Structure 1
Amino acid sequence: MNPADAIEAVPLASHDLSLWGLFWQAHIVVQLVMVGLAVASIYSWAIIIDKTLTFRRLNRAMDRFEEVFWSGQSLEELYRSLQDRPTTGMASVFVSAMHEWRRSFEGAARSFASLPQRIDKVLDVTIQREVDRLDNRLIFLASIGSAGPYLGLFGTVWGVMTAFTAIAGSNNTSLAVVAPGIAEALFATAIGLFAAIPAVIAYNKLQSEVSRAQARMEGFADEFSAILVRQVDERMAQAA
């Protein structure tokens, strides 16, 4: 056997080119990048699944609430049935506005002049609070979607530098020597893309769900505010 062939055969045989092998043979810095990206990917999928289920429950709850609200049931009865229960979406908007409405009629001094403005303010604050709750943790998906490829690229660059340093030290530039180190480095980029691509797609989809839910709540708030303002006008006319 040619001695040169024997020298080239040793590095190839000593490298495990499976995914686990590429991980364990990588430099410690590259391993840390891979582990960090893998953990970020798992957490991203946890957020994606949780938010998907949350929006499904929210849409069903808002559909049920709209059906009950426009069924002709009195506002007071609906408020009593919801005030002691945890609410989300339109139900939260309704309960907060009705709470402010009822407070204006408590006690001897009744303030109607600024009631429409107060109700509108309560509606805006409640909607913003609901939107913030829906937006919670979505920023993490955006961060992984934008930073994931760069983290993977950092691991790749570090791995390539390590591979070329090893090559320079061995004075052997054959493909059998170069390939394992380059493969280990590129594995970090692959993990970065694996973490980033689903995060970007999910972030865009979930943000559209947030915008859709916000639009539904704002539309309901405008209609409900008009109903309450008409009742205020009627009561002020009766009092006059």
Structure 2
Amino acid sequence: MDQLFVNADAATLSPIGLFLQADWVVKFVMLGLLLASIWTWTIIIGFGFRLRRNVAQSDAFERDFWTAQDIDRFHDKRGNENVPTARVLDAGLKEWRRSTNAKKVDAEGVRSRLATLMASASAAEIDALSGRLNVLATIGSVAPFVGLFGTVWGIMRSFTSIAAEQNSSLAVVAPGIAEALFATAIGLFAAIPAVIAYNRFSHGLNRLEARLLRFADKFHATLSRELDAEA
């Protein structure tokens, strides 16, 4: 008989049991946090593959570019590739062609426009990649407080049970406190991966942006030498 009682308590305090016996408000909090956790991991997996692929493709593109003998031919062949470095190259070379086709070439103006356009293209690439990072930041900052709300509500329910039954024994308060703490645990389960992933991905995007800006600077220097040679 005692064994059956222990097993029943263990089932009641299991994660599924805690959810089933929870108040509808706490259930809503738990479901919301669980969906946020699933969303977080979906973004982490998808964004991780996407960032890694863009870095690898940019590395390969840049390596091939600097070994190419003819920049115009290389651009005509590979300038439309879906690679961040390719779009930076495309922005710079198109502006170069527009500016140098004029009857009178303003060298300093060309240099200024090239630098501005390639820096803008680099920033646009990072903006396009970082679109979902704000979701991770939001979940990482909000989920613990949502879990805390569920905790507070569950503890209030426990005190209500004590007042209703006029009994402060552990059997009365344990389920409500357990479900309250479980809501906090789910909140942390959603928030911790989101915060870690946000920091790691932000670092990766910063490195990619620095790489694109270095490529833009080197290409700008190459075109600047061409201007000096034509002067």
Question: Is the 1:62–1:90 contact (alpha carbons within 8 Å) kept by the matching residues of 2?
Answer: yes
Equivalences for residues 2-81 of structure 1 within 5 A = 16-81=12-77
| Residue in structure 1 matched with residue 171 of structure 2 by the alignment | 176
1:156 is displaced (CA, Å) by: 0.3
Answer with 114-123 or 87-96: which moved more.
87-96
Q: Could you say what secondary structure the match of 1:70 adopts?
A: helix
Q: In the alignment, residue 118 of structure 1 is paired with which amino acid? A: R
SS in 1 for 2:44: helix
Considering only CA atoms, is the larger Rg found in Structure 1 or Structure 2?
Answer: 1
Count of equivalent residues: 224
Correspondence for 1:200: 195
The Cα shift of 1:88 comes to 2.4
Report the Cα offset of residue 153 of structure 1.
0.7
Q: Distance in 2 between matches of 1:15 and 1:217?
A: 56
Unpaired stretches in structure 2, ≥5 consecutive residues: none
Q: Partner of 1:111 in structure 2?
A: 105
| Shift in Å, 1:86 | 3.9
| Matched residue, 1:211 | 206
Instruction: Give the AA of the match of 1:26.
Output: A
Q: Which runs of 5+ in 1 are unaligned?
A: 1-8
Instruction: Report the TM-score when normalising by structure 2.
Output: 0.91
Shift of 1:73: 2.6
Equivalent in the alignment of 1:133? 128
Asked if the contact 2:44–2:197 (Cα under 8 Å) also holds between the matched residues in 1, the reply is: yes
More helix by share: 2
Q: CA deviation at 1:111?
A: 3.4
2:152 aligned residue (151, 157, 173): 157
Superposition deviation, residue 207 in structure 1: 0.6
Percent pairwise identity: 47
Looking at structure 1, the residues matched to 103 and 26 of structure 2 have their Cα atoms a distance apart, in angstroms, of 70
Q: C-alpha separation between the residues in 1 aligned to 2:157 and 2:23?
A: 7
Distance 1:158 1:204 in 2: 31
Is the Cα–Cα contact under 8 Å of residues 112 and 232 in structure 1 kept in the other structure? no
Q: What is aligned with 1:6?
A: none
**Equivalent residue letter for 2:190:** A
Q: Which whole-Å CA distance do the structure 2 matches of 1:164 and 1:226 have between them?
A: 72
Q: What is the CA-CA distance between 1:136 and the residue it aligns to?
A: 1.1
Relative to structure 1, the CA distance from residue 165 to residue 14 in structure 2 (aligned partners, 3 Å threshold; closer, same or farther) is farther
Paired residue secondary structure (1:73): coil
2 CA distance for matches of 1:132 and 1:194? Answer: 28
- 1:110 to partner: Cα distance: 4.7
| TM-score, scaled to structure 1 | 0.88
